[in-house]
């Protein structure tokens, strides 16, 4: 299929100075030595500005409900809370960090996956720097957001409209569903996929579990709306998405093709609108998949959906670069590629691709 | 009462270079001119490092529940979710920004109030820089956290244990409860307390409402536990709290007096353990209250509780500096002092106090 195995000129290029600039083995060894010596600390980063905002959302009116008396704090002074009135719901949170010496051609928006928040990008479970750091250090203005109903976006401003019970996950679920462990029951066995690079020591894994947040499955329309509002506010951007945000990245690009200057999809869990593939034809697109997919219960089908959609985009005249990391000899990646021990190596691959597309100077 | 009206040597001192260094009128005028001219943009800030982590929390086991089949994404591949297993609950999120040239003697921990998140500190509703910026720019290593069950901390990892319906607020509630408006019905009238400095234009107020998140009233013990875990991880710190976090600041200082090097309480909604006031005797404490308290339904009692507690701390040999801003001629502050238009002026007062206590160099 076109693009999948073809020549990729950007593959031979590496941004100077990134931590994984060498071959993989040497890079990992070097990283290990640096970590041991305590010398891995990177240079300070100068921020021109940073901050956050909320964007998007709708008003909704509630009436006819009884008031409650709430003692917010034990020993505090009770307050009457009248739930009737106008609510704002469906807003979203974004935090931006703008480097003093920008090199990215556009802001880089980082959209997390389901049941998670922007924390996905700002640390790894074993405490290394996240992709937020990687790209900010290379001069990208970075916007890390919390999607509707999650994290600092807030949730359920209208309980009546959140629609059903959010999904809350026990510890074994991400281990087994994100291809860290080798299938059902692997958490109980503490068994991993062979050579998996996700940090599976107990403390790191607990750190990851603590990043998980409840997930509503009824807010996709609101979430897409909020992402469009984010694009409208920030303006033309590079959009990087993970997992659940795959659908939002695809669809936002279809709704605002002039504002998405490139689309980087890290294991997207779903695709865009098949009727609107032509809208994507002028957007450089990169899709990245990790390891252990063939032996997983769900990921062969999910990747297959992605591949068919990519082919439809290409048939409409678009450009999709498809990267199966194991085909590159990069093995061991779970679904949480930006948290795996080789996260900087994969980030460098993305960085090189963006540079090759002329989006970084 | 001792300390309330007495001499405060730190009052005469102002940190050089902060935006509100002049007299109040001149400071506000200058800020306005700078904002109009676009010249208000401050210098870039060099970060030595930044990132986030989760801390605290407990395990809990759920069993005997039926599994669900969840289609996480429309058109996606269904997954079986077995809710039985071990959960982590009650963890907390903290984001740190460490300046390259630190001047604060200790890290500064910023603990938000009820129904809010760390966003409280990182912007104002009208888009100015928050207190996070103010103190980071003056060289404080700043840790902004999301307390248990809010924001990026995640919530309800055990739905059975969150205990009851969280409080979700319609738009009129903060307007009327946080002393922005002049009492019940004031939101509908769009009526404010005279001269209030909270940004009440519709867009700014909506921005603030979007920062609100649901509030559980059953998680105080977990929250205190998590704050103690935060102190244990970060080490000796200056703790700055707002509103609901008043009780957590007081109680955390009582449990870890050696780790709280100063306690800054901005309109604390509750007090500490009356049986443990002696634990606070070696900690410099600053309490700050805004305007319009006398005419509010609840704040005279809340402030009265705070005053009695402060007197008990003093009687035990402690030092509490008590600041009623209107008594200083600083009028117009709502409950959200760090968001009011004079937020930098009040931050400067805190900064001067910290410097006077020898905590800044």
Q: How far apart are CA B241 and CA B120, in angstroms?
A: 11
Distance, in Å, from the CA atom of A312 to the CA atom of A321, rounded to the nearest integer, reads 13
Does A149 touch chain B if contact means CB atoms closer than 8 Å?
A: no
DSSP string, B29-97: HHHHHHHHHTTT----EEEEEEEEEEE--EEEEE-SPPPEEE--STTS--EEE---EEEEES-EEEEEE
In the prediction, which pLDDT does B41 show? 60
Under DSSP, the state recorded for B126 is: T
pLDDT of residue A32: 38
A-B contacts (CB, under 8 Å): 226
* Domain locations along chain A: 47-56+87-356
CA trace torsion A79, A80, A81, A85 (10° rounding): -130
Closest CA to B78 of A128, A297, A97: A297
The reply to whether A119 touches chain B by the CB within 8 Å rule is yes
**How much is the pLDDT for B63?**
87
List, run by run, the mean pLDDT of 10-residue segments along chain A (361 residues): 32 31 36 40 91 94 87 79 89 97 97 97 98 98 96 76 74 96 96 98 96 89 95 98 97 98 98 98 98 97 98 98 98 98 98 98 93
Six-digit token string for A80: 């009457």
Distance CA B335, CA A73 (A): 16
* CB-based contact, A54 to chain B, within 8 Å: yes
**Contact in structure between A155 and A162 (CB atoms under 8 Å):** yes
Nearest in space to A359 (alpha carbons), one of A254, A309, A285: A285
At B30 the pLDDT is 40
Q: What is the pLDDT of residue A312?
A: 98
Task: Show which of residues 314-333 on chain A sit within 8 Å of chain B, judged by CB atoms.
Answer: none
Q: Which residues contact B189 (CB under 8 A, 6 or more apart)?
A: B181
**pLDDT < 50 regions, chain B:** 1-39
Contact residues, chain A, for B151 at CB < 8 Å = 146, 151-152
Backbone angles phi, psi at B87, to 5 degrees: -115, 155
- Of the candidates A226, A267, A222, A263, the residue with the CA atom closest to the CA atom of residue A244: A267
Contact assignment for B207 to A74 by CB distance below 8 Å: no
Query: Which of A60, A155, A170, A244 would best serve as a mutation to test chain B binding (most B beta carbons within 10 A)?
Result: A170
Pairwise CB contact (< 8 Å): B46 & A44: yes
Residues near B127 by Cβ (< 8 Å), separated by ≥ 6? Answer: A51, A53, B204, B207
Residues of A whose CB is below 8 A from B119: 52, 54, 93, 152
What's the pLDDT at B348?
A: 98
Give me the residue from A51, A173, A244 closest to B73, CB to CB. Answer: A244
| Distance, CA of A153 to CA of B103 (rounded, Å) | 33
CA-nearest of A215, A225, A270, A205 to A244 is A270
Residues of B in contact with A41 (CB under 8 A): 49
Among the listed residues B112, B93, B43, the one whose alpha carbon sits nearest the alpha carbon of residue B267: B112
3-state helix, strand, coil in chain B (%, to 5): 35, 20, 45
Q: Taking a contact as any Cβ pair under 8 Å apart, which residues of chain A between 23 and 52 contact chain B? A: 41-42, 44-52
Residue in A79, A146, A269 nearest the CB of B72: A269
Residue of B nearest to A159 (CA): B168
**Would you call B77 and A301 a contact, using CB atoms and an 8 Å cutoff?**
yes
Chain B: nearest CA to A174, how far in angstroms? Answer: 10
Measure CB to CB from residue A170 to each of B47, B85, B122 and give the nearest one.
Answer: B85
Cα angle: A276, vertex A278, A284; to 5 degrees: 115
Measured between beta carbons, which residues in chain B are less than 8 angstroms from residue A91?
210
Find out whether B20 and B129 touch, Cβ atoms under 8 Å.
no
- Structure ipTM: 0.88
> What's phi and psi for A237, nearest 5 deg?
-150, 160
Give the residue on B whose Cα is nearest the Cα of A212.
B154
Q: Residue B334: name the closest of B130, B197, B183 by CA.
A: B197
For residue A159, the model assigns a pLDDT of 56
Nearest CA in chain A to B246: A73
pLDDT at position B76 is 75
10 Å Cβ neighbour count for A60? 16
Q: Does B119 touch chain A (CB under 8 A)?
A: yes
Shortest alpha-carbon distance between residue A56 and chain B (Å):
9
- Nearest CA distance, B130 vs chain A (angstrom): 8
B272 touches chain A (CB under 8 A): no
> Residue A73 is nearest to which of B130, B170, B244, comparing CB atoms?
B244
Q: Which candidate from A93, A100, A129 shows the least CB-CB separation from B44?
A: A100
Instruction: For chain A, say whether B85 makes contact (Cβ under 8 Å).
Output: yes
Instruction: Determine contact: B177 vs chain A, CB below 8 A.
Output: yes
For residue A244, the chain B residues in CB contact (below 8 A) are: 72-73
Please report the pLDDT score of residue A14 as a whole number. Answer: 31
State both tokens at A22: 């060498």
A chain contacts of residue B207, beta-carbon cutoff 8 Å: 53-54
CA–CA separation, B174 vs B120, rounded Å?
14
Q: Give the pLDDT score at A5.
A: 29
pLDDT in tens, B254-303: 999 999 999 999 999 999 999 999 999 999 999 999 999 999 999 999 99
- Tens digit of pLDDT for each residue in B111-135? 999 999 999 999 999 999 999 999 9
Helices (H), B278-337: 299-315
Contacts B71 to A, Cβ<8 Å:
217
CA–CA min distance A28, chain B (Å): 22
CATH match for B9-19+42-56+91-356 among 3.40.50.1820, 3.30.43.10, 3.20.20.80, 3.30.200.20: 3.40.50.1820
CA atoms of A206 and A126, how far apart (whole Å): 10
Q: Give CATH for domain A47-56+87-356.
A: 3.40.50.1820
**Measuring CA to CA, which residue among A226, A157, A221 is closest to residue B210?**
A157
The predicted pLDDT at position A37 comes to 38
Q: What is the pLDDT of residue A41?
A: 60
């Amino acid at each position: 299929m076109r693009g999948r195995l073809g020549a990729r000129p950007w593959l031979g290029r590496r941004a100077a100075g990134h931590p994984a600039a060498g071959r993989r083995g040497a890079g990992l060894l070097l990283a290990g030595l640096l970590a041991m010596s305590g010398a891995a600390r990177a240079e300070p980063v100068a921020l021109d500005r940073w901050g956050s905002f909320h964007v998007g959302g709708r008003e909704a009116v509630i009436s006819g409900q009884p008031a409650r008396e709430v003692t917010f704090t034990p020993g505090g002074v009770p307050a009457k809370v009248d739930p009737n009135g106008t609510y704002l719901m469906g807003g979203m949170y974004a935090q931006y960090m703008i480097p003093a010496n920008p090199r990215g051609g556009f802001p880089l928006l980082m959209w997390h996956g389901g049941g998670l928040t922007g924390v996905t990008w700002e640390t790894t479970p074993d405490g290394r720097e996240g992709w937020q750091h990687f790209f900010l250090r290379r001069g990208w203005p970075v916007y890390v957001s919390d999607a509707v109903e999650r994290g600092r976006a807030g949730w359920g401003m209208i309980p009546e409209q959140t629609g059903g019970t959010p999904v809350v996950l026990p510890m074994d679920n991400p281990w087994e569903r994100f291809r860290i462990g080798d299938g059902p029951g692997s958490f109980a066995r503490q068994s991993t996929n062979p050579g998996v690079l996700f940090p599976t020591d107990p403390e790191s894994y607990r750190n990851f579990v603590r990043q998980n947040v409840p997930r509503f499955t009824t807010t996709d329309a609101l979430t897409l709306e909020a992402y469009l509002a984010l694009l409208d506010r920030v303006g033309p951007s590079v959009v990087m998405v993970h997992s659940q945000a795959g659908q939002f990245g695809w669809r936002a690009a279809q709704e605002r093709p002039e504002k998405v200057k490139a689309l980087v999809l890290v294991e997207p869990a779903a695709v865009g609108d098949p009727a609107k593939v032509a809208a994507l034809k002028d957007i450089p697109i990169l899709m990245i998949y990790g390891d252990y997919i063939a032996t997983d219960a769900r990921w062969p089908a999910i990747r297959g959906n992605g591949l068919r959609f990519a082919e439809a985009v290409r048939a409409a005249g678009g450009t999709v670069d498809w990267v199966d990391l194991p085909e590159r000899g990069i093995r061991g990646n779970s679904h949480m590629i930006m948290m795996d021990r080789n996260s900087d190596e994969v980030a460098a691959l993305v960085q090189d691709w963006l540079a090759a597309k002329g989006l970084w100077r």
